[in-house]
Amino acid sequence: MSRLADTFAQLRETRQQEPGLVAYLTAGDPDLQTSREIVRAVARAGADVIEIGVPFSDPIADGPVIQRASERALAAGSSLSAALSLVEAVRADIDTPIVLFTYVNPVVRMGTDRFVERAATAGADGVLLLDLPIEESESMHEALEGAGLDQIFLISPTTTEARMRRAAELGRGFLYAISRLGVTGAQATVASSAKPVVDAIRAVTSMPVALGFGIAGPDHVKEACAYADAAVVGSALVQALAETTPAAAPAEAERFVRWLKGRMQ
């Protein structure tokens, strides 16, 4: 069983005690060294899965908060190679599953075979390629599966049942349900389309489901986990880190994740 599969199996056993949380961080924001410490802090705080976003110059699926994080990370020298080095650096210290969250372009530039080899060697557990259509993903799926890496697929409110079934056939670890159409970004409420998209996924597969886009606080996390296996929080966490200093960022990351998990005393 993969680290992701094991984590989600445990979450299903304990979901009544504590909500599942996937925490998103941009690799190299605010700088590469601080970013490593932030990842370690998020793991200490109890994040169940950590998504490491690869900074990209044209992040079309991301809202302004993560776009600015990508800009800061790129200015600090981050890249796909740096993100892989970050995973390798923290893997010795943490057991939390790590998913690389990236667009296709950086992978193509590095070379698929080299990327897959480095990701596996670094200790990543899964890969989510945001803009790779499922119809064109079989060769990537074979490469990732051969290296023991789970491929994560996105499911939106407009995804057809046929494509959901295909994502479940090829996907491993979990399916990432998008609560609403549009780009990433914290919202005041969980979208009304969130539960229906999770229900639609449940109708075709027993794979774990993590729900993201717009989830910003512990009430949202708890609500999402009433029907999904975990909630994904990205923009709200990234914004909290942007509002503090690099020196204080790891402590703020730990505090914020503990707050999201309902662990604040």
- The full DSSP string for 113-176 is HHHHHHHHHHT--EEEETT--GGG-HHHHHHHHHTT-EEEEEE-TT--HHHHHHHHHH--S-EE
Active-site annotation holds for 62: yes
Dihedral pair phi/psi, residue 25, rounded to 5° = -135, 145
Catalytic choice (29, 62, 223, 254) = 62
In angstroms, rounded to a whole number, what is the distance separating the alpha carbons of residues 67 and 61?
A: 9
Gap between the Cα atoms of 13 and 11, Å rounded: 5
51 annotated active-site: yes
Instruction: Say which of 6, 18, 29, 51 is annotated catalytic.
Output: 51
For residue 209, the surrounding DSSP H or E stretch is: strand 209-212
List, by residue number, the catalytic residues: 51, 62
